[in-house]
Amino acid sequence: MKFLIKKIYIILFLLIILLTTTKIFAKDSKIQYAEEDISNYFLGIISAKQSYNKEAFRYLKKIQSIKNRHSQFNVEFIRTIVLLEKFKQAFAFSKNVWSKDELFFETDLLLGLDSFIKKDYISAERYFERLNKISQYNLIFDNFFGNVLMAWTRALQGNKVESFKFLEKIPSPYHHLKSIQNIFLQCYFDSNNTQKSLEELIENADYNFSRYNFFLVNYLLSKNKIIEAKKIIQNSRKKYSSNLLIRQTEFFLQNDENEKIKVFFNCKNSNDSLAEFFYTIANLYASERNYRLSNFYLKISLFLNSRFTPNEALLAENFYYQKKNKESKSVYYSLRSIGAAYSWYASKNIATILLREKGKEHSLNSLEKDFELLSNPNFEHYYELANFYKDNEYYKESIKYYSLALKKIKKNHPLVPKILDRRGTSFERLNDWENAEKDLLESLKILPDQAHVLNYLAYSWVDKGINLDRGLEMLKKATELKKNDGYIIDSLGWAYYAKKDYIKAKFFLQKAVELLPSDPIINDHYADTLWMLNKNIQARYFWSNILKLNDVEQELKDKIKKKLIFGIVKKL
């Protein structure tokens, strides 16, 4: 039914558009377009919007005759051919449609980059300067695109002072991008401040610059400061244990494969620094879930620096979120050649795609086979495999690998309390409360201020009717740590309910319902409290409403149906 509605919507959309084609398709109303041209245009645009790039290209290339009359066609066609990595064709088409009287961001950007690569800096500047003019009409670009590119154009002409002046023109909202490019310019000009600037960037508490530990290591290796590089990566691994690029860099350093780090990036190569700029833009668009534009800038980044293959991980992620499983898997398979960290990362993500495509059995079989190929699995491998089992409700297997992770890991490692927490919740799902409680308490002993662990343990106690006073104090603490967490506030209210303090229970449960109005359990807790306060009509209203919510388990539905008839017979 949903498919039929969607199909009807598309047909209606096309019919409405077709009725207005004369004004849309041409400045000259006398120009006539064949039905086939109109069909190709709309099929191309729809394919492009859905990121079916090959199909979009097939349709749009047939109607290039409208390029001088329809700017939206030009935008979609240029983006499509860039996404297909047809850069020669993108440059040629951009040159063909460029006009000095019309500001067109994609054409000026591509023609500027083409001139830049060919070392025709005079022409490059002419195009890049126009990007700032475009910014006056498009706040998204707000004078930073053109100025970054102009800075590098001046740098390659040996004009150091002018290059830094262009960076200074970048507006304050983009100070992070400005700082990064400033450092790369320092490195390009071999400034003595490069290392210090990178260190200050990484230590910036206002933003996560963990990625730039790699660039610091890369820089130190270029200066043959191997011992310093190893110290940097060791410290960054402690602080950013899950960062994939840092993990792989550590692996290279441990195995004396320093050249593999150096080959990814060279600050003396301006293309590499610009590639990082476009990669950052791609990340920004990915965070906004605009995966098509993210891939557009990412393809430019990879065109400028095809050696930085770890950046392709973003492409694989974007394809996954676009539900392009085949393309995503293809990229993940290629990532395996980078090294051990990326190989295991790819295996996990391929298993996740298989879970979507073929279900749990195929997914787990794939990951298990890849795990068996690991020559020397460490605690992170065990932990991540355990997480995969737990997330797919294979609790017994998850406990096995959490236990192996705890045997391998150092006792003072910051991940220990997390592993104990996750193993404890797996025990709880298997109704082994003795071991579950032991792990959760041990996790809190190591790291007391874990709001969600406090909540999980205390709520379990409340639900079992044990340790009510201790559980209540834990939940008060958890609420202080996470002030607007609806689930924790619900637990606190439910603890007061268990202690028969229904006034306080109502106060917190009402707040929890306001924060999470569609959660059936929270609504049930609130209704129970209303009943105990003799607000029977209101209680029945909330119980009735729960039956209208989505994803309500049958067991809860059955209980609520009984409450609607009999109320609460057995008091907690």
Give pLDDT tens digits for 225-283.
999 999 999 999 988 988 999 999 999 999 999 999 999 999 999 999 999 999 999 99
pLDDT, one tens digit per residue, over 464-477 is 999 999 999 999 99
pLDDT at residue 407 is higher than 70? yes
Token code pair at residue 570: 């057995």
- Find how far residue 267's CA is from the centre of its chain: 27
* Cα-trace Rg, the chain: 29
Stretch among 22-26, 140-144, 215-219 having the lowest mean pLDDT? 22-26
What is the reported pLDDT for 132? Answer: 81
Stretch among 10-19, 346-355, 437-446 having the lowest mean pLDDT? 10-19
pLDDT at residue 27 is higher than 70? no
Helix-then-strand count for the chain, H and E: 33, 0
pLDDT, one tens digit per residue, over 84-114 is 999 999 999 999 988 887 888 999 999 999 9
Average of pLDDT values for 20-46?
A: 57
Assess contact for 542 and 512: CB atoms under 8 A: no
What is the band of 34 on the pLDDT scale with cuts at 50, 70, 90? Answer: low
Nearest to 53 by CA among 20, 75, 84, 12: 84
pLDDT at residue 546 is higher than 60? yes
pLDDT greater at residue 426 or residue 22? 426
What is the reported pLDDT for 30? Answer: 43
DSSP 391-433: HTT-HHHHHHHHHHHHHHS-TT-TTHHHHHHHHHHHHHHTT-H
pLDDT at residue 2 is higher than 70? no
pLDDT greater at residue 138 or residue 6? 138
The pTM assigned to this predicted structure is 0.85
Give, in order, the Cα–Cα distances in Å from 171 to each of 135, 167, 168, 198.
12, 9, 8, 21
- H-helix segments, 409-553: 416-429, 433-446, 451-464, 468-481, 486-498, 502-515, 520-532, 536-546
pLDDT greater at residue 403 or residue 137? 403
Name the average pLDDT for the chain. Answer: 90
What is the reported pLDDT for 67? Answer: 61
Looking up tokens 């047939």 gives: 62
What is the band of 70 on the pLDDT scale with cuts at 50, 70, 90? Answer: low
CATH 1.10.287 fits 1-97, yes or no: no
99 three-class SS: strand
Average of pLDDT values for 154-160?
A: 96
What is the reported pLDDT for 33? Answer: 53
pLDDT, one tens digit per residue, over 356-395 is 999 999 999 999 999 999 999 999 999 999 999 999 999 9
pLDDT, one tens digit per residue, over 553-571 is 999 999 999 999 999 975 4
What is the reported pLDDT for 32? Answer: 47
